[in-house]
Amino acid sequence: MGRKVHPLGFRLGVIRDWQAKWYADTHYAEFLQEDLKLRQAIRSKYADAAISLVEIDRQAKEITVTIHTARPGIVIGRGGQRVDELSSHLEKLIGKRVRLNIQEIRQPELDANLVARTIAEQIQRRIAYRRAMKQSIFRTIQAGAKGIRVSCAGRLGDAEIARRQTMHQGQVPLHTIRADIDYGFTEARTTLGRIGVKVWIYKGEILPEPKELEVEEMPVELAAVKSAEAEPITAVEPEAKPAEPIAVEAAEAVAEVKAEEKPVTKRRRKVAVTTELEEKPEAPAVAKAAEAVAEVKAEKKPAKPARKRSKKAVAAKDTTSEAEATLTEKEEKDATT
């Protein structure tokens, strides 16, 4: 993927602010040179003060310089003596009025520039680069970071061929813009050449604060008028007249009678209906009509035709009749003899 985008410049205007706050139309190059001189002078004079960041803010007649350091005592000095010396030195350097602000860094283990500076100093003191990287990673994670990545490039371990060594722990989401990632870079000057040290530290996500709705303040009289206008006008209902005593007594008697009556269930209703139907006598006209209809149906029924006998049945009947005739003749002969 080639080279990576600078993590601080990628998040400018979203969760990070510019290190120099000023606008110049025609004197841009002049102001930029002044900023570079101020930063170089401060870092060179206080190289051992663990300075991480220098912010510059320009007003009409003066320049405000804010120094973020982990050792404010070195910068301030006894009674602020060194601050006065530094401010006078910077005023002579650029020829303008300079005001200094010193801010202490509470947790230097979570500052990427300071972590990179400590690793570079250890490499310059001939300490093994792997050990320096592991110690810095351990301290940063112990301080509360969610992730860290350290990269060293150069002639590591007095090797003849330069190479790059990277170590990381936790997560470092470089593509997430709301992720608070601090980045630092420095160089270790050794007898065999320079070794570059890069550090990325992930501290967590910075979410936007919820916007509060602005409520306009109104005078009390105007608010009362608006509330009165907003209330809807409802119709006034007439008062209910008390019921007459006679009607009330009659209603109570009807309610008592209804309460005494047992509710008729579905089964009881069916039995009552069937008994009523059985008890009702049929009308004479209906009975006569039913009889007439029955007679007509009986007349209309056709008589069943005689079943046709088969040839076998007819032949069997004829044989039986002949056998009976021969028997009768024999009996008659016997009787005569």
- Answer whether residue 318 is part of any domain: no
pLDDT at 318: 72
Long-range pairs for 152-157 at CB < 8 Å and ≥24 separation?
Answer: 152/119, 152/123, 152/195, 152/196, 152/197, 152/198, 153/195, 153/196, 153/198, 154/188, 154/190, 154/193, 154/194, 154/195, 154/196, 155/190, 155/192, 155/193, 155/195, 156/129, 156/195, 157/128, 157/129
Q: pLDDT: is 119 or 330 the higher one?
A: 119
Structural domains of the chain, count = 2
Could you tell me if 93 and 161 lie in one domain?
Answer: no
Residues 98 and 158 in one domain: no
| 79 plus 140 within the same structural domain | no
Confidence of residue 248 (pLDDT cuts 50, 70, 90): low
The strand order across the sheet containing 62-69 reads 20-21, 51-58, 62-69, 97-104
What is the rounded CA–CA span in Å between residue 311 and residue 166?
A: 120
DSSP E strand boundaries for the chain: 20-21, 51-58, 62-69, 97-104, 147-154, 163-170, 179-190, 193-205
Q: Spell out the alpha helix ranges (H) of 105-177.
A: 112-124, 129-143
Task: Report the CATH number at residue 163.
Answer: 3.30.1140.32
User: Where a domain ends, among 205, 222, 253?
Assistant: 205
Asked whether residue 185 is assigned to any structural domain, the reply reads yes
The parent domain of residue 78 ranges over: 18-106
Confirm whether 157 is domain-assigned: yes
* Domain end point (choices 205, 229, 249): 205
Q: Domain for residue 102, yes or no? A: yes
- State the DSSP H helix or E strand holding residue 311, giving kind and residue range, or none if neither: helix 311-336
Residue 146 lies in a domain: yes
Residue 236 pLDDT exceeds 80: no
- Domain co-membership, 201 together with 134: yes
Same domain, 25 and 90: yes
pTM of the model: 0.61
State residue 1's pLDDT score.
47
